[in-house]
């Protein structure tokens, strides 16, 4: 097995553990009865579609070996992050922050940690754009990137179920 691939899988396992702990903390926090009033489900659907498109594009890079899919991935990732920022900004405007209660404290941490992963994916994408012009390990690098994107969108789907949909 490729040592980079093994190291990557160890990273994914450690990230799964971290997100699991964050999910447990979130689920153990008191429920927030006004969540239907502060979360926009249409926006949530748009964010979900953006992340699923990014996963799809990460596969298209491997199949077609075209860098244009990286650019689209970066654009969709940035749009996702801007929507997340808008949501955080909206919450701050109505005086809801991580100081408000345990629910919102855990919400900001887990959503922020996920957003950090999206930022990391943008940096990986930029790195691969540079590497793919000079490197011969095109396939393994892009497989790792694709797995990372699938991980990000699976975590997002868990977030949607646990944070936004759970009653």
pLDDT tens digits, one per residue of 21-53: 999 998 888 666 666 667 788 999 999 999 999
Each domain of the chain, given as residue ranges in start order, spans 3-165
The model scores a pTM over 0.95: no
Binned at pLDDT 50, 70 and 90, residue 140 comes out as confident
Cα–Cα separations (whole angstroms), residue 33 to 43, 94, 101: 20, 15, 12
Task: Report the candidate in 74, 70, 82, 94 with the shortest Cα–Cα distance to residue 46.
Answer: 82
Q: Which CATH number is 3-165 given?
A: 1.20.120.80
Residue ranges of alpha helices (H) inside the chain are 3-28, 35-38, 41-64, 68-93, 102-131, 138-159
pLDDT tens digits, one per residue of 65-117: 778 899 999 999 999 999 999 999 988 998 888 888 888 889 999 999 999 99
pLDDT tens digits, one per residue of 118-133: 999 999 999 888 876 5
């Amino acid at each position: 097995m490729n040592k980079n691939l093994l190291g990557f899988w160890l990273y994914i396992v450690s990230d799964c553990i971290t997100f699991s702990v964050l999910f447990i903390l979130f689920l153990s926090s008191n429920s927030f009865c006004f969540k239907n009033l502060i979360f926009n489900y249409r926006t949530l659907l748009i964010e979900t579609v953006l992340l699923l498109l990014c996963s799809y594009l990460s596969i298209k890079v491997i199949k077609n070996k075209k860098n244009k899919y990286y650019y689209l991935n970066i654009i969709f990732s940035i749009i996702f992050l801007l929507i997340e920022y808008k949501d955080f900004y909206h919450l701050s405007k109505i005086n809801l922050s991580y100081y408000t209660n345990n629910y919102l404290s855990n919400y900001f941490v887990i959503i922020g940690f996920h957003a950090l992963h999206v930022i990391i994916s943008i940096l990986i994408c930029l790195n691969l754009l540079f590497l793919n012009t000079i490197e011969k390990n095109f396939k393994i690098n892009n497989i790792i990137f694709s797995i990372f994107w699938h991980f990000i969108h699976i975590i997002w789907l868990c977030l949607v179920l646990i944070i936004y949909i759970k009653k």
